[in-house]
Structure 1
Amino acid sequence: MDFALILFVLSVISGVLWFYDVFKARKLRAKGEPDPWWVEYGASFFPVILPIFMLRSFWIEPFRIPSGSMYPTLYVGDFILVNKYAYGIRLPVLNKKVVEIGNPQRGDVMVFRYPHDTRQDYIKRVIGLPGDKLEYANKRLTINGEAMAVRPDGDFLIPQTFDVFQKLEEDLGGGRKHMMLNNRDAQPFVPEQMVVPHVYSDNCSYSGSGVTCTVPEGHYFVMGDNRDQSADSRVWGFVPDENIVGRAFFVWFHADRILPPSGVSFGRIGSFH
């Protein structure tokens, strides 16, 4: 059972108890009689639980980064905020969109439910939009026939392993630039070891140099910024719109055991792209 569902159930139960107490039970109690236990420990939680549930469901939800697939943009141990309404208002728990506000844009860092196991939340960068034809071959990206420009930006030390990867700035067009990593020693692609069959497998072709895909309607192609250490749309396919959680936009805290001396780094706090 996920946390959103737990909050929803607690909100309903505490809300029913609160309304019952306010509009009926309280009027039946003798003056000065103490509140029963179910009011004290149940209905009293409603004013606290409801705002939390509404905040997480419709506005902002916190997440923690568990892996290094988004280096150098996001670090293991980053605590981030996700804008839940950026791509439309969705019903809590059901995640059904009821109000259109916007759609993911190329370059957005997006949180979504993993298509092969919706109990898991993933975070990647949006690379391909519905209808796009893209190719990632020999570690270079082409979208709709246009090669995306890259600019070398030195090296990057992976904190956990101390591996040194090449850092590059990739331009996705329209001023949407971001940093990414390439492992000079990694093969471009190994289809027989990496590809997970998915509904739209026929939309993609694979080779030792990379992958070419046409993004189906209502779906998105996503990739990690740590290109050679990310299982993403190249491996398991596209993200359907109904799996979208929101757009990540801010690191509000960082804590990880590998950072000396306390594992806390306030220098990580701030927005990103």
Structure 2
Amino acid sequence: MKNWARDNKGFLLFLALFGIFRTAIADWNPIPSASMHPNLLEGDVVFVNRVAYDLKVPLTDISLARLGEPQRGDVVTFSSPKDGTRLIKRVAALPGDTVEMRGERLIVNGKQAEYTVLGNHSEDMGMAGQLQALQLSEANGDASYRIQILPQVHARRDFAPLVIPANQFLMLGDNRDNSSDSRYIGLVPRDLLIGRAERILVSANITDRWQPRFERIGASLRPQ
């Protein structure tokens, strides 16, 4: 074993440095579910900037320095406060915000987000079959992005006004009626944030023999 380690020390050093890079600087995140439709699809792999907000000790949640502040509309990866599962959602409300939802409509600091209808889409719900989805543009402050709702699905479309405490964030999935987000798992503490998702690195259609989706490669995830 000692001889093997000595003969492969260059490779072992590369693995160690690569591990530090992935856990402290940059990472990638496969999209496993439909919770961020229509912007992220199953089979997408996104680039995650781990130093967008904090510089952390590798393999820990210990922050060494704050490098930036999350903004409404950012797509972020984080560890679920409920069970530690890695999730990817959109920041809907910041510390100090008063936020509520009425009939799918997001209200932040007394101002309702602006909505524009983009059209209808057929959503594959597995055993439930094909359901009609309504796609909208949601303008939340300076951030504008697409969301969709599924009127036929039972979902939590309303919650009472809530003041977001310091160092916590309210996260929502873009697929509003098919997302396990802060309405179900609670607010997300800052120290559980992993990084900001910046772009789609690669994409393949998992329902069609993993055919590449070239048109999605390099697409930005930043709000407009």
Fold in common (TM above 0.5): yes
Residue matched to 1:231: 180
Cα distance in structure 1, aligned partners of 2:155 and 2:25: 39
Counterpart residue type for residue 100 of structure 1: R
Residue matched to 2:147: 180
1:17-64, Cα deviation, whole Å (9 max, x unpaired): 8xxxxxxxxxxxxxxxxxx333124x2323311331232123210110
Q: CA RMSD in A?
A: 1.8
Cα distance in structure 2, aligned partners of 1:52 and 1:107: 30
Indicate conservation of the 8 Å contact 1:66/1:76, yes or no.
Answer: yes
Residue matched to 1:242: 191
Cα distance in structure 1, aligned partners of 2:169 and 2:40: 21
Q: 1:37 to 1:156 in 2, by over 3 A?
A: same
Cα distance in structure 2, aligned partners of 1:230 and 1:188: 9
Residue matched to 2:138: 170
Residue matched to 2:214: 266
Cα distance in structure 2, aligned partners of 1:262 and 1:116: 32
Indicate conservation of the 8 Å contact 2:24/2:59, yes or no.
Answer: no
Give the Å deviation of 1:160.
Answer: 5.7
Cα distance in structure 2, aligned partners of 1:253 and 1:95: 27
Indicate conservation of the 8 Å contact 2:42/2:206, yes or no.
Answer: no
Residue matched to 2:76: 110
- Structure number with higher strand proportion: 2
In the alignment, structure 2 segments of 5+ residues that lack a partner are none
Residue matched to 1:7: none
Cα distance in structure 2, aligned partners of 1:57 and 1:131: 30
Cα distance in structure 2, aligned partners of 1:248 and 1:40: 38
Please state whether the residue corresponding to 2:5 is helix, strand or coil.
helix
Indicate conservation of the 8 Å contact 1:129/1:215, yes or no.
Answer: yes
Q: 1:268 to 1:225 in 2, by over 3 A?
A: same
Q: 1:154 to 1:102 in 2, by over 3 A?
A: same
Rg larger in structure? 1
Structure having greater relative contact order (Cα 8 Å, sep ≥ 6):
2
Give the Å deviation of 1:246.
Answer: 0.2
Cα distance in structure 2, aligned partners of 1:168 and 1:73: 12
In terms of mean alpha carbon deviation, does 43-52 or 141-150 score higher?
43-52
Please state whether the residue corresponding to 2:212 is helix, strand or coil.
coil
Residue matched to 1:3: none
Give the Å deviation of 1:144.
Answer: 0.8
1:77-111, Cα deviation, whole Å (9 max, x unpaired): 11111000000211112221111110111000000
Indicate conservation of the 8 Å contact 1:139/1:188, yes or no.
Answer: no
Cα distance in structure 2, aligned partners of 1:80 and 1:209: 30
Which one of the candidate residues 35, 38, 45 is aligned to 1:69? Answer: 35
1:162-217, Cα deviation, whole Å (9 max, x unpaired): 3220000000112x10000011223453xxxxxxxxxxxxxxxxxx7434322111
In the alignment, structure 1 segments of 5+ residues that lack a partner are 1-16, 18-35, 190-207
Residue matched to 1:38: 5
Indicate conservation of the 8 Å contact 1:78/1:253, yes or no.
Answer: yes
Please state whether the residue corresponding to 1:125 is helix, strand or coil.
strand
Cα distance in structure 2, aligned partners of 1:159 and 1:81: 26
In terms of mean alpha carbon deviation, does 151-160 or 92-101 score higher?
151-160
User: Percentage identity across aligned positions?
Assistant: 30
Runs of 4+ in 1 over 4 A off after TM superposition: none
What is the correspondence of 1:1-273 to structure 2 with a 5 Å cutoff? Answer: 36-41=3-8, 43-118=9-84, 120-159=85-124, 161=126, 162-174=130-142, 176-187=143-154, 189=156, 209-259=158-208, 262-270=210-218, 271-273=220-222
Q: 1:37 to 1:183 in 2, by over 3 A?
A: closer
Q: Normalized against structure 1, the TM-score is what?
A: 0.74
Indicate conservation of the 8 Å contact 1:218/1:240, yes or no.
Answer: yes
Q: Normalized against structure 2, the TM-score is what?
A: 0.90
In terms of mean alpha carbon deviation, does 236-245 or 209-218 score higher?
209-218
Cα distance in structure 2, aligned partners of 1:101 and 1:180: 29
Cα distance in structure 1, aligned partners of 2:45 and 2:146: 19
